[in-house]
Amino acid sequence: MCRTVQRNVHEVNQPTEMFSDVNQDTFYVGAVHKTSEDVKPVHKHNQENEWTVFLNIRGQTIKAKIDTGAQANVMSKGMANAINAKIEPSTARLTSYSGEQIPVAGGVNLPCFYNKTKHNINFVVTSTEQAQTILGLETSRKLQLIQRVDEVNDDGIPDMSDILAEFSDTFGELGCLQDTHHINID
């Protein structure tokens, strides 16, 4: 039994060579839920644990979770209906981490505004009435919500010779201490 506060993890993985027999419109979605009957949930919103943005879609503010593991943008049928989006037929298939099919109602292409800039975003619409709206990796990059960092530079770390020169009075001599010292060990 897990004794932690409820936490949802959403992830979409692109098929690998192992899944070569599955068509290109298949997306893998995994959700892991942690629940506990013994721990009371903390109602304080922790922005470090969840990365979300607010999009303006058809005059409504929609909270979307940034998911860099997702290869598709996902929206519930309930949310699509709430913003009066016309759901088009789609060949996309969503599959959970455990291999179960997630029912797909279709897809929508919506004009979304973020930071006063218009972006046309494609969403796969699930048949569920309530689910968190997810922005995948590609869209998160296009909206400049994330940036890939390929290397870490150590330009700011001083060289050993610089440290020895700056603290020459400390490192000037080697040898014995001038006074006798006694150290007690408990």
- What is the DSSP track for 162-178? HHHHHTHHHHS--S--S
CA distances from 87 to 12, 24, 100, 112, 120 (A): 21, 21, 23, 16, 15
More confident residue, 176 or 37: 176
Residue 63 · residue 83 · CB < 8 Å = no
- Please check whether residue 2 lies inside any domain of the structure: no
Task: Give the domain CATH number at 108.
Answer: 2.40.70.10
Report phi then psi at 65, rounded to 5.
-90, 135
Identify residue 139 by its one-letter amino acid code: T
Within-domain flag for 76:
yes
Q: What are phi and psi for residue 7, nearest 5 degrees?
A: -145, 135
For residue 178, being part of any structural domain is answered with: no
Q: What percent of the chain has pLDDT over 90?
A: 38
- Residue 118 main-chain phi, psi, to 5 deg: -85, 135
| 3-state SS, residue 88 | strand
What digits encode the pLDDT tens for the residues 120-147? 999 999 998 988 999 999 999 999 999 8
- Rounded to the nearest 5°, which phi and psi values hold at 137? -60, -55
Residue 109 lies in a domain: yes
- Which pLDDT belongs to residue 140? 94
Q: Does 59 fall in a domain?
A: yes
Q: Is residue 166 part of a domain?
A: no
Are 83 and 57 in contact by the 8 Å Cβ rule? The answer is yes
15 found inside a domain: yes
Q: Which residues pair with 53 in a beta bridge?
A: 64
Q: Is 171 helix (H, G, I), strand (E, B) or coil?
A: helix
Model confidence at 22: pLDDT above 50 = no
Residues of the domain holding 100? 7-142
pLDDT of 16 over the 50 cut:
no
Residue 163 lies in a domain: no
How many distinct structural domains can be found in the chain?
1
